[in-house]
Each structure stands twice: as C-alpha cells, then as structure tokens.
Structure 1
Amino acid sequence: MPKVAAQGKIIDCSKGAKLRQVLLQYDIDLHNGQSRWINCRGIGTCGTCAVQIEGAVSEPNWRDTTRRSLPPHSLMQNRRLACQTQVLGDVKVTKFDGFWGHGDNPVWTAEGEGGQCE
C-alpha cells in the first residue's frame, strides 16, 4: 500500500488513487488563497492543485500537460496537477506559493509547514 507524505502527515492509500482526493480526505489544503473557492474541483482545467511530487506516480496525461504548458505554469517546473496524478508508490508532496501553486516558496512540504499561504 503506497504512502503519501504531505504537510507532516503520512497517509496510506490504494495504488492508483488520485492524489487530490487522498490529500483532501486528510484535510490537506491543495489551494492557496481564494483558489480554494474557485478551483475546477478536479477536472484538470484550472491548475491550482499544482504540487511538486517525489516518488512513483502516473505519467502526465494530456490535461495535466496541457494546463501546465500555459502561464503562469511551465513544463520546466517540477510540478504536477494533483487532480490528474495517480499514486503508484510512496511519494513526498510539496505545495508552493502563488495562486496556482506556481511560486518558488514552499507553503508546506512532506515534513510539515514550509511557509505561509497567500
């Protein structure tokens, strides 16, 4: 059973589970500032659930790649959309600042709080 490390929590989940659902189920907020109210709810169009992931996850699908290719995201950043990512093994997750999670400063890391949310 894969383990997800995020915001100082270790969460067991089923292999193939969507990362967004796993994190939200354990009260880990994927959205910065007002994006928690106006996000796309997991269909992959807004990009506000972008996170950095270390570990075994699914390959990016077309929604993930398309959204991250548009500003303010960049395919050069090591980010993924949590709503489009399946957990395949143990992972560590970091959330960055910026409305879309595109910033350079961690809001939280796998180990715990890493900064302040906008």
Structure 2
Amino acid sequence: MPTVEFEGTEIDCEEGAILRDVLLAAGESPHNGRAGTVNCFGHGSCGTCAVEIEGDVSEPTVRERARLSVPPHDPDDGLRLACQTRVLGDLTVTKHGGFWGQTVESGSDR
C-alpha cells in the first residue's frame, strides 16, 4: 500500500488511486486559496491542482500534458496535475504557491 507524504501528513492509499482523491479524502487539498472551490473538480481542464511529485506515478495523460503547456504553467517545471495522476508507489508531494500552484522557485532540483 503506497504512502503519500503531503505537507507533513502521511496518507496510506490504494495503488492506482487518483492523487487528488487521496488528498481530499484525507482532508488535504491540492489547491491554493479559492482554487479549492473554483476548480474543474478533477477533469484536468483548470490546472489548479498542479503539484510537484517525487515517487512512482502514472505517465501524464494527453489532457494533463495539454493543460500544463498553457500559461501560467510551463511544461518544463515538471509539475503534474493531481487529478490526472495515479499513485503507483510511495510519494512526496509538494504544493507550490500561486492560484494554480505554478510558482516554482528557480534552482529547484528537478
């Protein structure tokens, strides 16, 4: 059973679970501020659940790659959409600043 580490919380989940669902079920949010209520509810179209992931996850979906290639996102930042990402093993998840979680500090090791 994979473990997701997010903001100091460790969450056990089923392999193959959608990361967004895992976080929300544990009372955590992949969103910043008002994006928690103003989002696409897991359809991969808004981009507000973008997170940095270290660990074993599914390959990006076509929808995810398309959304992360449109500003304010930058496909070179290495972010993933929590709503399109399946947990395949233990993860460390980081939520960055900005409405879409797009404010990745330069010089990050990725």
Which TM bucket (shorter chain)? Answer: over 0.9
Q: Name whichever structure is richer in helix by fraction.
A: 2
| Structure 1 segments of 4+ aligned residues over 2 angstroms from their partners | none
Give 1:69's aligned amino acid.
S
Amino acid across the alignment from 2:85 = T
Residue 74 of structure 2: aligned partner: 74
* 2:83 paired residue number: 83
Percent identity (aligned): 54
The count of corresponding residues between Structure 1 and Structure 2 is 105
Q: Deviations over 1:20-77 (max 9, x none)?
A: 0000111112111211111000000000000000000000010110000000001100
Structure 2 counterparts to residues 1-118 of structure 1, below 5 A: 1-104=1-104
Query: Quick one: which amino acid aligns to residue 25 of structure 2?
Result: Q
Q: Structure 1 length as normaliser, TM-score? A: 0.86
User: 2: distance between equivalents of 1:33 and 1:71?
Assistant: 19
TM-score by length of 2: 0.92
Structure 2 unpaired stretches of 5+: 106-110
* Corresponding position of 1:110: none
Partners of 2:71 and 2:40 in 1: CA distance: 17
Indicate the RMSD between aligned Cα atoms, in angstroms: 0.9
Counterpart code for 1:3: T
Amino acid at match of 2:26: Y
Deviation at 1:104, TM superposition (A): 2.7
Cα distance in 1 for partners of 2:63, 2:29 equals 21
